[in-house]
Amino acid sequence: MERILITGALGQLGQEFIKYFIKNNIYVLASDIRSPKNKLNCDFEVANAMDIERLDNLVKKYKINTIYHLVAILSAKGEENPFNSWKLNMESFQNIIEISITNKINKIFWPSSIAVFGTKSGLENVNQDPVLNPSTIYGISKLSGEKLISYYNNKFDLDIRSLRYPGIISFESKPGGGTTDYVMEMIESLKKGENYTCFLNKNSRLPMLYINDAVMGTIKYMSTDKIKLSVKDSYNITGFSITPLELFEKLKEIGCKGNVIYKPDFRNKIAKTWPKKIDDSFAKRDWKWKADYGLNETLKETFK
């Protein structure tokens, strides 16, 4: 029986994983550095992922055998203080790896990101194993994390798994400071008939993934027999690719009234170093990955 610890559980992804595990009667202990605003329907503990003793105690106390380590400072926010971002993203992951070895944790999930790619990665359609030259401290920490996965899995016979998520779109849980957050911000403003100032250029094309696909895909991947997984660091996965202009036009088409003004800032520079499209054929082949939500299906979820 799985007993799962989620770190960073109150973030955009964590909240959705909690819902999935509760709904499917899988034991989950949620933890975060802050307390939840509303009561959760599962065990919850405040824990700083930089505090290895605290994490170790929780794993022992709740007999945890699987960890979803979701703590991170994301791309745009990370640029405000690169030293802090590196420290949190790397040290917290090392803490999780260390306690996983001592407590014989069965499986660990650690998300990577499309931020690992860079201008040399063949951005028109990035394959599974391109040159990686990330431009942000976030991308550098994700690339380093991917290298740690191969290293520690080999050295200590661990089972750390990872997916390179594109921009995650969700409407109930809010995004935490990434370069693709404009999608949710634009939808929210235009839905209310308000104008939106977009921080990306109107033609910045980036890959996205609707939250239901992200959660279901991750669960499917985590339950795949290890022997089938040919990618030893992190799998490319994607849903659909869009530009701010395409999103705006689609929103107008379905009756939204607000306008969009484009004022690209530093996040546009980040976007220029990220893929327009992602080749996720290894994930499709190895563990039958398939996205169910395109742009139309995603918008239906918020306009229903």
Ligand X SMILES: NC(=O)c1ccc[n+]([C@@H]2O[C@H](COP(=O)([O-])OP(=O)(O)OC[C@H]3O[C@@H](n4cnc5c(N)ncnc54)[C@H](O)[C@@H]3O)[C@@H](O)[C@H]2O)c1
Residue 145 CA, distance from chain mean position: 14
If binding means CB under 6 A, how many residues of this protein chain bind ligand X? 27
Instruction: Compute the distance between CA of residue 39 and CA of residue 75 in angstroms, rounded to an integer.
Output: 29
Is residue 138 annotated as part of the catalytic site, yes or no? yes
Using CB under 6 A as the binding rule, whether residue 113 contacts ligand X is answered as: yes
Which tokens sit at 29? Answer: 């202990």
CB atoms within 10 A of CB 300: 12
Of 69-77, 122-130, 261-269, 275-283, the segment contacting ligand X by CB under 6 A is: 69-77
- C-alpha closest to that of 67 among 36, 106, 35, 102: 106
What is the number of the residue whose Cβ is closest to ligand X? 11
Instruction: Compute the distance between CA of residue 67 and CA of residue 28 in angstroms, rounded to an integer.
Output: 10
Sign of CA dihedral 217, 222, 226, 230: positive
Query: Between 22 and 33, whose beta carbon lies closer to ligand X?
Result: 33
Answer for which of 5, 100, 111, 146 binds ligand X (CB under 6 A) is 111
Q: How far is the CB of 113 from ligand X (least distance, A)?
A: 4
Answer for which of 55, 88, 108, 137 binds ligand X (CB under 6 A) is 88
Of 160-168, 250-258, 266-274, 293-301, the segment contacting ligand X by CB under 6 A is: 160-168
Using CB under 6 A as the binding rule, whether residue 291 contacts ligand X is answered as: no
Instruction: Compute the distance between CA of residue 200 and CA of residue 179 in angstroms, rounded to an integer.
Output: 8
Instruction: Compute the distance between CA of residue 197 and CA of residue 200 in angstroms, rounded to an integer.
Output: 9
Q: How far is the CB of 71 from ligand X (least distance, A)?
A: 4
Using CB under 6 A as the binding rule, whether residue 11 contacts ligand X is answered as: yes
Residues 40-59 that bind ligand X (CB under 6 A): 48-50
- C-alpha closest to that of 93 among 114, 111, 74, 66: 111
Residues present in the chain in total? 304
Using CB under 6 A as the binding rule, whether residue 10 contacts ligand X is answered as: yes
Using CB under 6 A as the binding rule, whether residue 148 contacts ligand X is answered as: no
Using CB under 6 A as the binding rule, whether residue 180 contacts ligand X is answered as: yes
In the 8-state DSSP scheme, what is residue 175? P
Query: Between 235 and 259, whose beta carbon lies closer to ligand X?
Result: 235
* E strand or H helix at 27: strand 27-32
Catalytic residue among 20, 27, 68, 138: 138
Backbone angles phi, psi at 75, to 5 degrees: -55, -60
The packing angle between helices 12-23 and 211-222, to 10°, is 60
Of 31-39, 125-133, 151-159, 185-193, the segment contacting ligand X by CB under 6 A is: 31-39
Using CB under 6 A as the binding rule, whether residue 74 contacts ligand X is answered as: yes
Active-site amino acid positions = 138
- Residues making contact with ligand X (CB under 6 A): 7-8, 10-14, 32-34, 48-50, 70-72, 74, 88, 111, 113, 165, 167-168, 175-176, 178, 180
